[in-house]
Structure 1
Amino acid sequence: MNTVLFNTHDIVLLITLYQCALFAFFLLTFKQGNKQSNTLLALFLLSYVAIPLDTLINYGAAFRAYVIDISPNIFYVFGHAYWLEAVLLLFYVRSLIYKEFKLQQQDALLFVPFLLYCFYQINIWYLVDHSSKMAILNNYQVAEEPLYTRFIGLFRECFRLFCGVLCLIELQRYQTKIKDKFANIEEVDLTWLKILVIGFLFIRTDAILVSLAMFSTFEFDLIIDYEFLGLASNYTVLLLISVLIFFSLSFSSVFKGIEADKKDTATLDKKP
C-alpha cells in the first residue's frame, strides 16, 4: 500500500482524466439541449480520458512498471484516441453551428488514418507473442525507437493540426453567413468557441514541436528539451478542458444553427 505510482506531473493527467470522464457521463445522461452535440462532445471528452491514460502507461515511471506486470496488451490501446479526438472536435463544432448536422460520405475520409493505425498496431504489436512483448517493454528506451515510429508520430500530430484548422475554417464560414441572417450579430458570440479551438491548435502545434524535438535530439544529436514541451502541453490540456466544460455549460445556447450549404461542405471536405 506504500507504493508510489504517480508523481506531481502525473496528478495533472489524472485530474484531466477525471474531469473528462465525469463531464462525459453528465453529457450522455443529460436529457436537455442538443443531444447530438452533447454526444459528440462526450465522445471528444472520452478521447481525452484515453490520451492521459496512454501517457501514464507509456511514460509514467512507476505506473508503467505496474501495467507491465498486469498485461503488455494494455500498452498502445489508448493511443488510438489521438487519431479520433481532433475529428470529434471538428464534428462537435459543426453540430453546434449547422442545423440538422449529419455526417457526409466525405467525412469517412477523416477516419482513414485511425483505421490504418489500427491495422498497423495489430500487425506490429498484437500479433507478437507475449515473451517478445515483455522483452520490448522491459528494454524500452525512447532514444532507441525506430525512425519510422517517429514519422508516424509526426504525421499523427500534423493530422490533428489539420483537423483543428478545419474547425477554424468552419467557424469563419459560420460567422460570415450568420451576419447575413441576423441583424444583431452580438446575439451570436463565437469568441469562446474560437478561444477553445485556437487553444487546442496550440496543443497540437506543441505536439508537433515535441515530435520535431525528438527527431533533433535522437537523430541529429541537437538536444532540445522535448520533455518540457510535453509537460507544458499536459498542463495546457487541463486548463483548456476546464474552460471547455465551463463555457459549454454556460454559452453553447447562444448558437443559432444555420442551414449547411451542402455544396460548400463538399468542397471543404474534398480539400487536401
Structure 2
Amino acid sequence: MTTHLVLFNFNDIALLLVIFNCLIFSCILLAVKRGKRSSNSLLALFILVFGLAALDTLIYWSAPLKQALFSDASTLFFVFKFGLLAQGPLLYLYTRSVIYTDFTVNTKTAWHFAPLAIFPLYLWAILSTLGESALHAGINNYNIYYENTLYRGLLIAQHLSILSYGLLSYRLLTRYKVEIVHSHSNLDKVSRSWLQILIGGFLFLFFWELGAQLAHHLALGNIPSTMGLMGNYFKFIFATVLVIFSLIHSNIVQGISSSQAPNLPENSTAAPEAEPLPKRTATEELQQHHIDAVSRAIEQDEVYLDPEITLDQLANKLACTPRQVSRVINQHYQQNFFEFINFYRVERAKKLLLEQTTLPMLEVMDQAGFSSKSAFNRFFKKYTQMTPTQFRNQNIHQ
C-alpha cells in the first residue's frame, strides 16, 4: 500500500500564499512599463526577498518538508537565510528612489549590500564549525544551531539590518515631509500613505517577530507558537496590501530633487513652519539676476496661477537650477516654496474679492491658482486672519 507524505498543513497556507503572491507580483513589477524603472526594480526585488524569507520560515516550521527536501542535503537548509539581510537595504533604497527624482543605482548604493556579498563566506564558516553531524541534527533541533557562535552572529546581523534600515527609511520619510514644502506648491495631491504603509508594516512585522522570539526565550508556554502563527497571517496581509498599493498608489508619491533639498540637520523632524532658513555663505551669495528672474515670474508671468507649479518647473522656465531658485525664495523672500507661491495666490484672491464682489467663491479659488477649497481657506486665513467670506463682507460694508 502506497503512503503519501503530506508536506503542508492548514497553518502553512498563509506562508504559501505569501510566497506565491511575492513571486508573481515581483515578476509583474519587473515587466511593467509605468513609473520609474529603478523604483519598480527595487520594489520587485524587495517583494521577492520578502517571499524568500517567508519560504525560509516555511522550511523551518514544516517538519515533513524538511524531511522530504533536506534529509540528504542539509546545507540547503541555509540557502534562503540571506533574504533577511537584503530586505532592509532594498527597502531603504526603494524609499530613496521614490522620494528623490535624481536617485540612481550606482557603486555607492552597492555598499549597502556588503553584508549580503560576504554571506556565502560567512555561511561556509558556520557550516565548517558545525560539523556534519550537528549540521544534520540541527535541522530538526534548532538549539544545536543556536549554540553556534557564528550562527548567533548571523541572527544578530539580520535583526540589526532590518531594524536599522527600517528606522533609516522612517527617518527619510519624516525628512521628506519637511523637504517637500521646498519644491511643491500644492500638497493636497502629495500622498505619503504608500510609503507609510510599506515602512510601518515592515517595522511592525520586525517587532512582532522579535516579541515572539523573546516569548520563546522566556518559556511563556504556547504564546511563542501562537504569535508565530499570527505573524504568518500578518505577513500574508502585508504582502497582499504591498502588492495592491504597489500597482495602484506607488506613483502618487511626488518626488523631489536631492540637490534642491535644504541642508537640514540629520535628526531634523521639524514641521515646515518651524524649520530654520538656510544661512547664506560667501560661496552662495544671491545673484541679482536670479532675484529679478523670480520676481518677473511672479509679478509678470504669474506662474503661481498654475495649481500644480513645482520648483523644478519654475526653474526650467527661468533657465536656472532648482537650487538657485530655492535659495532666492528662502533667503530673499524669507519663505519656503510652498508658502511663497500660496502667499501670491492669496494676494490674487484678495484682489478678485475686492474687484468682483459677485464672483462665486469657487471661481475666486480657481482663478487664484488654488486646486482645493481646504487649501484656499487655510492659506487665506493664515495670511489675513479671516476667511475669504469674512474678508469680502468686511470690505464691502466699509
Structure 2 residue runs without a partner (length 5+): 267-398
Amino acid at match of 1:63: L
Question: Given the two structures, how large is their TM-score scaled by the length of structure 1?
Answer: 0.84
Structure possessing the higher relative contact order (Cα contacts under 8 Å, 6 or more residues apart): 1
- Which amino acid counterpart does residue 231 of structure 2 have in structure 1? S
Shift of 1:157: 1.7
Q: Residue 185 of structure 1: SS of its match in structure 2?
A: coil
Q: Deviation at 1:74?
A: 1.6
Name the residue aligned to 1:146. 147
Moved more, 18-27 or 154-163: 154-163
| AA of the residue aligned to 2:60 | N
Equivalence for 1:68:
70
Which residue of 217, 220, 225 maps to 1:227? 225
Partners of 1:133 and 1:262 lie apart in 2 by 53
Q: Distance in 1 between matches of 2:135 and 2:221?
A: 29
Alpha carbons of structure 1 residues 132 and 206: separation in structure 2 relative to 1, 3 Å: closer
Please report how far the alpha carbon of residue 10 of structure 1 lies from its aligned counterpart in structure 2 after TM superposition. Answer: 1.1
CA contact (8 A) 1:72 1:133 kept: yes
Query: Which residue in the other structure is 2:4 paired with?
Result: 2
Gaps of 5+ in 1: none
Aligned CA distance change for structure 1 residues 180 and 114 (closer, same or farther; 3 Å): same
- Alpha-carbon distance change, 186 to 262 in structure 1, aligned in 2, over 3 angstroms: closer
Given the two structures, how large is their TM-score scaled by the length of structure 2? 0.59
Count of aligned pairs:
262
Secondary structure in 1 matching 2:249 = helix
CA distance in 2, matches of 1:24, 1:111: 20
Give the 4+ runs in structure 1 shifted more than 4 A.
103-109, 126-132, 261-265
Distance 1:183 1:210 in 2: 45
- Aligned-residue CA RMSD (Å): 2.8
The answer (yes or no) to whether the contact 2:38–2:105 under 8 Å persists in 1 is no
Structure 2 counterpart of 1:121, from 113, 120, 123:
123
Please give the secondary structure, in 1, of the residue aligned with 2:218: helix
CA distance in 2, matches of 1:227, 1:154: 21
**Residue 195 and residue 31 in structure 1: after superposition, are their counterparts in 2 closer, same or farther (change >3 A)?**
closer
Q: Which has the larger radius of gyration?
A: 2
Moved more, 158-167 or 147-156: 147-156
Identity fraction in percent: 30
Report which stretch shifted further, 127-136 or 107-116. 127-136
What is aligned with 1:187?
189
Distance 1:133-1:151 versus aligned 2 partners, 3 A rule: closer
More moved, 224-233 vs 256-265:
256-265
CA contact (8 A) 1:150 1:215 kept: no
Counterparts in 2 of 1:263 and 1:45: CA distance versus 1, 3 Å = same
Distance 1:105 1:50 in 2: 25
